[in-house]
Amino acid sequence: MTGNHPLAAESETYELSVNGRREQVKAAWLGESLLAVLRERLGLPGAKNACEQGECGSCSVFVDGVLVCSCCVLAADAVDAEVTTVEGLADGDALTDVQQSFLDAGAVQCGFCTPGLVVAVHDLLDRNPDPGDLEVREAISGNLCRCTGYGRILAAVEAVRDQRGRRSRP
């Protein structure tokens, strides 16, 4: 969406690219956040709605490969971008290594923070396959979990890191 007057009307139909699919957003208020559009208009409830101010990370998604809080992104601003939500990480019903590791480690309790954490951990390990403990903590510092105390989440991340490390060794 470039040019000077792409969405000049007060509400309009526009298209987003989400998880590789073109999705129509019809007659939307242009002040809506990406999170609201994903959940309420496109039927993608994986990104969770909690703090609405970028505090909790439960709405984490990728926009053009960059980890962001979708509650603070204007959906209209994502028109030219490729959005990837937690629903788009795995192939069909298979789980990603991060998702499987969260299950194996018992890193999931109520589950509310899990999608955001899974997205954030994919971001970390895709950028930095061998993070140190402090780097892991820093990378998930924007994702709040009120159940686990983080111990099992950290264990899950370490397990994926080690597993990917073993796989990549000759």
Partner 1 sequence: MAPLEYLRPSDEGAAIALAEADGRACLLAGGTDVVGLLKDGVLAPSRLVDINALPIAGVEIRDGGLSIGALTRLSDVADHPAVRGRFPALAHAVLAAASPQLRNMATVGGSLLQRTRCGYFRDPVTPCNKRAPGTGCSAIDGEHRLHAILGGSDRCIAVHPSDPAVALLALDAVVRTRGSRKERAIPVDDLYLLPGSTPERETLLEHGELIVAVELPATSFAARSCYLKVRERASFEFALVSAAVALDVRGGVIRTARVALGGVAPRPWRARAAEAVLRGSRMTEATIAAAASAAVRDARPREQNAFKVELVRRVLTRVLATAGAGG
Cα dihedral sign, 83-26-31-6: positive
Strand partners, 66: 63
Count Cβ atoms within 10 A of the Cβ of residue 148 and give its class: 0-12 exposed, 13-18 middle, 19 or more buried: buried
List Cβ neighbours of 44 (8 Å cut-off, separation of 6 or more): 18, 19, 38, 85, 87
Report in angstroms how near the CB of residue 86 gets to partner 1 at its nearest: 14
Q: Give kind and range of the element (H or E) at residue 23.
A: strand 21-29
Report in angstroms how near the CB of residue 62 gets to partner 1 at its nearest: 10
Q: By C-beta, is 42 or 69 nearer to partner 1? A: 69
Contact between 16 and partner 1 by CB under 8 A: the answer reads no
Which range of residues in 53-61, 85-93, 103-111, 157-165 is near partner 1 by CB under 8 A? 53-61
Select the residue interacting with partner 1 from 23, 41, 45, 72 (CB under 8 A): 72
Q: By C-beta, is 57 or 88 nearer to partner 1? A: 57
User: Nearest to residue 78, comparing CAs of 133, 137, 33, 143?
Assistant: 33
Sketch the per residue contact string, 93 through 112, with partner 1: x for CB under 8 A, - otherwise.
--------------------
Contact between 139 and partner 1 by CB under 8 A: the answer reads yes
d(CA 22, CA 114): 26
Residues that bind partner 1 (CB under 8 A): 1-11, 29-31, 33, 52-57, 60, 66-69, 71-74, 76-77, 120, 123, 138-139, 141-144
